[in-house]
Amino acid sequence: MDTILGLLFVFLWASASTAAKYGFQAQPPLTVLSVRFAIAAAMMLAWSYGIRRNTAKPHGKQWLQLTIIGLTNSTLFLGAAWLALRDVSVGLYSLFLATMPFLVAVLSSFWLSRRVTRNEWLGIAIAAAGLVVVAAPSLAASTATWQGLSLLVIAMLNQAIGSVYLKRVALPLPSTVINTWQLILGLIFLLPFAVALNGDATLQATPQLVGGLAWSILMVSVIANALLFTMQKRDPLWASTWLLLAPVFSYLQAALVLGEPIRAFDAAGSALVVAGLIISGTIDLRRVMAARAARAPVAPAQRPSPPPR
């Protein structure tokens, strides 16, 4: 049962980028993202203050803190990521985001006085080599552009900044309330970008758009996140190990849905990225396997959880 749960989770989690690229084909991506934010924000408002009946509301400097979190984690991260998907493959996108914990480790050394270990630096170097192995042939084959890669870097950097900042300020609010206002503020900041970059382009209610949005909101934002929280409560490290398969699933899904090719250098680069994550200790497979064998819970991993997708 655990294996089925893990496979279902990673399948849905990895599908976020494929659903996004599928949904905004021939559509203005930031306008599509704005619609997704608006629907998700309305759902979170109903859940947080309607069903859950939360009474906690932001006040004082918490509004500034939520503004920074919404701008980095929602507007700039997803905005840059969705724009990048026009110029890079889903597999390359997934590989870049898989290395985000390394940026978190480096930023934490400055903001949280956390020392970056030798193994982490080694893992960063190996994972970076994996990205070069995939990105360089993609640029040569014109399946990626420098603009797309630059947007991926901007997306990664903002996601890492948002994650570390959220840990630093430690907002005394329920997670559902934080996510609700992060989405609302993220939408407010995204709208000017959508108007400026998408111009007068309007959405066409195509099957791809409706299907991509429905899948992103229901299967990824709702079900995949619910599975993630369930798995983390059971065993945080075990839940994290399944994320190692996300790039693999992304490549397979993009090949089936979008017709993106899988080349030898994609497999080689993916292997290097996964090796870097393991060597750095981001995922400690020995501890997970030992804990599973002993049927005992393990201590939570010292990494921020993946942000809601």
Residue 301 lies in a domain: no
Number of domains the chain is built from: 1
Residue 302 lies in a domain: no
Residue 299 lies in a domain: no
DSSP result, 245-269: GHHHHHHHHHHHHT-----HHHHHH
Residue 208 lies in a domain: yes
| pLDDT number for residue 233 | 62
Q: Is the pLDDT at 54 greater than 80, yes or no?
A: no
| pLDDT number for residue 241 | 65
Mean pLDDT on 129-137: 84
**Proportion of the chain above pLDDT 90, given as a percent:** 21
How many CA atoms does the CB half-sphere of 150 hold within 13 Å?
3
DSSP result, 122-168: HHHHHHHHHHHHHHHHHHHTTSS-HHHHHHHHHHHHHHHHHHHHHHH
| pLDDT number for residue 299 | 47
What is the per-residue pLDDT across 244-287, written as a single tens digit (0 to 9) for each?
Answer: 778 888 889 999 999 988 888 888 888 888 888 778 765 555 65
Q: Is the pLDDT at 187 greater than 60, yes or no?
A: yes
**Confidence band, pLDDT 50/70/90 cuts, at residue 240:** low
Mean pLDDT on 75-85: 92
Residue 71 lies in a domain: yes
| pLDDT number for residue 53 | 80
Residue 308 lies in a domain: no
Residue 300 lies in a domain: no
Mean pLDDT on 54-61: 85
pTM of this prediction?
A: 0.79
Residue 307 lies in a domain: no
What is the per-residue pLDDT across 137-174, written as a single tens digit (0 to 9) for each?
Answer: 888 877 789 999 999 999 989 988 888 888 888 888 88
Mean pLDDT on 34-62: 87
Q: Is the pLDDT at 72 greater than 80, yes or no?
A: yes
d(CA 155, CA 135): 16
Rg over alpha carbons for the chain, rounded to the nearest Å, is 19
Q: Where is pLDDT greater, at 238 or 39?
A: 39
Query: What letter does residue 242 receive in the DSSP assignment?
Result: G
Domain with 40, as residue range(s), is 2-294
With contact defined as beta carbons under 8 Å apart, do 126 and 64 qualify? no
